[in-house]
Amino acid sequence: MSALGPHLAVGVEPPVPPAQEKTEKPAYDRRAYDERNEALRRLLAESKELSRRVMEDQKRGRTGNTKEAMTRLVELQREIQRLEDAQIEENRKFQAAESDKSAVPQDADSELLADPSNLYFEGWLLSRDAEKLKTEGKVTDSRQKLERALKLFEQVASNNPDWKPEMVKGRLKQTKEVLSSLPQKDN
């Protein structure tokens, strides 16, 4: 037997610490989250530009490349949806890790919560959900989501004024306009 303890003897397995016996929740992968955010931004920009070009071509009666452009738009929308779903899943992992403070160190936890890109993305997701609810006639639910999104965008603007100020300013303006245009009651 080893002088350093029985677990160091040949053929004896060291004891498993109690913390490792628990089933660990999925780890929050910040790098992958940021990479997906960047890919989403690129795809959304490409989709917007392609949509604009298709609309211009249709206005001018040019339909030669419309089929290919529409096919690409469908592909872009599928990829955007896939990335958004992955981001939502990553947010769930983060929330699970947040509920178990031992899974995420306190300083990393507060850093993730304060990250303006995370806050902005959460606000964007809420805005997107609100738009869907609005088209379904669920104005009250839409208003609630937009109000939560507005608070997130305001938090980004006040706590991180140097983080993409034009983008945040535009989203704040757009969210306020949509909120003010909503009827007070559901249809």
Reported as a single tens digit per residue, the pLDDT across 45-75 is 888 888 888 888 878 887 777 778 878 888 8
Can you tell me the distance from the alpha carbon of 137 to that of 186, in angstroms, rounded to the nearest whole number?
Answer: 6
Can you tell me the distance from the alpha carbon of 92 to that of 96, in angstroms, rounded to the nearest whole number?
Answer: 6
For residue 72, what are the domain limits?
28-103
User: Quick one: 98 and 62 in the same domain?
Assistant: yes
pTM over 0.85: no
Q: Which class for 118: exposed (0-12), middle (13-18), buried (19 or more C-beta within 10 A)? A: buried
Can you tell me the distance from the alpha carbon of 17 to that of 102, in angstroms, rounded to the nearest whole number?
Answer: 14
- Whether 177 and 153 have beta carbons less than 8 Å apart is answered as no
Assess if residue 19 is contained within a domain.
no
Assess if residue 4 is contained within a domain.
no
User: Quick one: 97 and 125 in the same domain?
Assistant: no
Can you tell me the distance from the alpha carbon of 121 to that of 127, in angstroms, rounded to the nearest whole number?
Answer: 10
Average pLDDT, rounded, for the chain: 76
Q: For residue 119, what is the domain's CATH number? A: 1.20.58
Kindly state the tokens that stand for 60.
């001018």
User: Quick one: 144 and 120 in the same domain?
Assistant: yes
Can you tell me the distance from the alpha carbon of 87 to that of 40, in angstroms, rounded to the nearest whole number?
Answer: 10
| Contact residues for 124 (Cβ-Cβ < 8 A; gap 6+) | 149, 171
* Residue whose pair of structure tokens reads 């809420």 in the numeric block: 126
Assess if residue 21 is contained within a domain.
no
Q: Could you say which of 103, 138, 161 is where a domain stops?
A: 103
Can you tell me the distance from the alpha carbon of 13 to that of 27, in angstroms, rounded to the nearest whole number?
Answer: 27
User: Quick one: 81 and 36 in the same domain?
Assistant: yes
**Could you count the other beta carbons within 10 Å of the beta carbon of residue 50?**
15
- pLDDT single digits (tens) 17-39: 444 444 454 566 677 778 888 88
Assess if residue 52 is contained within a domain.
yes
Question: Which of the four pLDDT bands, split at 50, 70 and 90, describes residue 104?
Answer: very low
Q: Could you say which of 103, 130, 162 is where a domain stops?
A: 103
Structure confidence at residue 146 (pLDDT): 94
Q: Could you say which of 73, 103, 133 is where a domain stops?
A: 103
User: How many distinct structural domains can be found in the chain?
Assistant: 2
Can you tell me the distance from the alpha carbon of 35 to that of 153, in angstroms, rounded to the nearest whole number?
Answer: 21
User: Quick one: 50 and 76 in the same domain?
Assistant: yes
User: Quick one: 153 and 91 in the same domain?
Assistant: no
Tell me what percent of the residues of the chain surpass a pLDDT of 70. Answer: 72
